[in-house]
């Protein structure tokens, strides 16, 4: 044991740190090609959620009237990225580097939460599962809001431990309320994590009604006050329409039958296999083994374990209720799952002979998964591709070399291109105004589409412009988005008597020069 403490643990920690640092290499590279995670966030979301920060630095305004303004609903990430861009300039590498920094910070917070709860080897095992996960490697390197949400949630869990047994309960509870408000302002799905943090924070105080009441009042007062203040600001500046629109576009058709809802729940649970096809089934088996071994163990009363299970359940329930599962939504679930897995292994290895054998077999399965995941992660890291950023640079160079007086790109992925090259853009697909109004207001000079043309967007463009196809760029590996097509927009004067219906304008017109199809 002394040898393990002197040499084994330090070597293990160095390996964890090395794998964590690998997340920061080749930050401009594509999302791993031919991965099992078909998520379109890699084409759009990094730019969308940073667009307020980019506009402020590039154009002197953060808000686009009638456009897509997610910062109205989730302002915390854009605010932090705005500060970052003040130091680095608008840069996708800087934004992704910030996300990786948060990932590394989250590893340290998890170690802090597990310290004293599990043996040192179990805490290091949890960090190993996180640092070597190919799934987390792929998504932690994108400038998405999930790493920030997780940081705030882990801070809230750490603070919740300080509520009981301290005389500063009101101050700590008020600070916890601020963290909960920050979580919601970082990502609205944080609401589904509130039961997990509430359990961790306030159940230990349930035997002390007075202290519990004071803590609840302080937490609700500070958190609710921040959210109320933000709502008042939005109302004052007439931005509630943007807030409503943010929730409207994130609402999806719901099942209409009990069987439909069960199918939605099944797919949401099945989506956990995206995290890890070995470790997630193992977690389910160990949970059943723990229940069979008896829930009277100390783990049944551990606030972190309960919070991990509640956090996983809350987010999976959200995805089932939305009937919309995306791999990136499971990044927070993955962290809670790996923490719970390490705690379950610890408990089973301390049980009787039968359950200790179960724990040892599970430990061998975990070791196999770690080796497999490490190889897969390093394969992604050692074979980067740069098709997306090279396309953005080539497209921007073409626009600059063929100036037409309107250096503005119209594209669904326009904000993503802005993040990569600084080329100003406006989104054709999302916005509180109709597309034709946004186009008339913005006066774009260029348009980019993926693989084919959307008839509704084409109709909106045709009210003002004709299209001249000028370039086609291969990008990444998605069969529906692997060619980005660039068009010059040429002002169009409709001929007298020409039809102006959406159906007529949503087709290729004689003035167009286009070689791709309409959907």
Q: What is the reported pLDDT for 349?
A: 87
**CB 106, CB 154: distance < 8 Å:** yes
* Confidence bin at 292 (pLDDT 50/70/90): confident
Which of 29-33, 157-161, 395-399, 482-486 is least confident?
157-161
Q: What is the reported pLDDT for 496?
A: 59
Long-range CB contact pairs, 200-209, < 8 A, 24+? 200/157, 200/160, 200/161, 200/303, 200/304, 200/306, 200/307, 201/156, 201/159, 201/160, 201/163, 201/173, 201/176, 202/160, 202/163, 203/303, 203/306, 204/163, 204/164, 204/303, 205/163, 205/164
Q: What are phi and psi of 189, to 5 degrees?
A: -70, -5
Task: Give the span between the Cα atoms of 483 and 489, in whole angstroms.
Answer: 19
Give per-residue pLDDT as tens, 485-517: 999 999 987 765 566 677 788 899 989 999 988
Whole-model pTM: value is: 0.94
Q: What is the reported pLDDT for 186?
A: 97
Task: Give the span between the Cα atoms of 410 and 65, in whole angstroms.
Answer: 15
Q: What is the reported pLDDT for 310?
A: 96
Task: Give the span between the Cα atoms of 17 and 15, in whole angstroms.
Answer: 5
Give per-residue pLDDT as tens, 103-130: 999 999 999 999 989 999 999 999 999 9
Give per-residue pLDDT as tens, 11-24: 999 999 999 999 99
* Confidence bin at 352 (pLDDT 50/70/90): confident
pLDDT exceeding 70 applies to what percent of the chain? 97
């Amino acid at each position: 044991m002394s040898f393990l403490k002197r040499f084994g643990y330090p070597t293990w920690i160095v390996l964890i740190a090395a794998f964590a640092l690998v997340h920061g290499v080749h930050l401009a590279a594509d999302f791993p090609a031919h991965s099992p995670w078909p998520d379109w966030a890699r084409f759009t979301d990094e730019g969308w959620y940073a667009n307020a920060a980019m506009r402020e630095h590039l154009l002197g305004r953060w808000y686009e009237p009638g456009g897509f303004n997610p910062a109205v609903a989730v302002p915390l990430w854009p605010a932090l990225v705005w500060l970052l861009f003040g130091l680095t300039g608008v840069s996708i590498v800087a934004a992704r580097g910030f996300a990786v920094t948060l990932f590394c910070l989250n590893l340290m917070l998890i170690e802090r939460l597990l310290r004293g709860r599990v043996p040192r080897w179990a805490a290091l095992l949890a960090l190993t599962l996180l640092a070597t996960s190919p799934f987390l490697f792929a998504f932690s390197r994108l400038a998405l809001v999930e790493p920030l949400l997780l940081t705030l949630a882990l801070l809230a869990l750490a603070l919740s431990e300080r509520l009981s047994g301290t005389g500063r309960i009101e101050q700590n509870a008020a600070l916890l309320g601020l963290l909960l408000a920050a979580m919601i302002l970082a990502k609205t799905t944080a609401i589904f994590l509130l039961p997990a943090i509430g359990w961790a924070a306030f159940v230990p105080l349930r035997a002390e009604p007075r202290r519990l009441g004071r803590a609840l009042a302080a937490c609700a007062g500070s958190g609710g006050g921040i959210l109320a203040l933000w709502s008042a600001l939005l109302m004052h500046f007439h931005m509630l329409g943007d807030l409503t629109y943010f929730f409207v576009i994130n609402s999806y058709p719901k099942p209409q039958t009990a069987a439909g809802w069960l199918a939605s729940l099944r797919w949401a649970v099945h989506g956990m296999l995206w995290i890890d096809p070995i470790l997630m089934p193992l977690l389910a088996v160990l949970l059943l083994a723990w229940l069979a071994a008896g829930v009277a163990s100390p783990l049944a009363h551990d606030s972190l374990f309960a919070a991990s299970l509640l956090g996983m359940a809350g987010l999976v329930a959200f995805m089932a209720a939305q009937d919309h599962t995306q791999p990136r939504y499971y990044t927070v679930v993955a962290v809670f799952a790996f923490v719970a897995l390490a705690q379950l292994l610890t408990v089973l290895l301390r049980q009787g002979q039968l359950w200790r054998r179960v724990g040892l077999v599970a430990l061998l399965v975990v070791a196999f998964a770690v080796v497999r995941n490490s190889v897969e992660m390093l394969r992604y890291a050692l074979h980067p591709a740069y098709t997306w950023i090279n396309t953005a640079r080539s497209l921007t160079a073409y626009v600059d070399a063929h100036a037409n007086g309107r250096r503005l790109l119209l594209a669904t992925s326009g904000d993503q291109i802005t993040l990569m090259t600084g080329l100003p853009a406006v989104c054709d697909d999302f916005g509180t105004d109709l597309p034709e109004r946004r186009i008339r207001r913005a006066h774009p000079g260029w348009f980019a589409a993926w693989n084919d043309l959307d008839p509704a967007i084409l109709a909106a463009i045709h009210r003002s412009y004709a299209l001249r196809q000028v370039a086609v760029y291969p990008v990444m590996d998605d069969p529906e988005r692997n060619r980005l097509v660039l068009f010059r927009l040429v002002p169009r004067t409709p001929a007298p008597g020409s039809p102006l219906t959406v159906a007529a304008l949503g087709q290729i017109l004689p003035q167009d020069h286009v070689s791709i199809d309409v959907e």
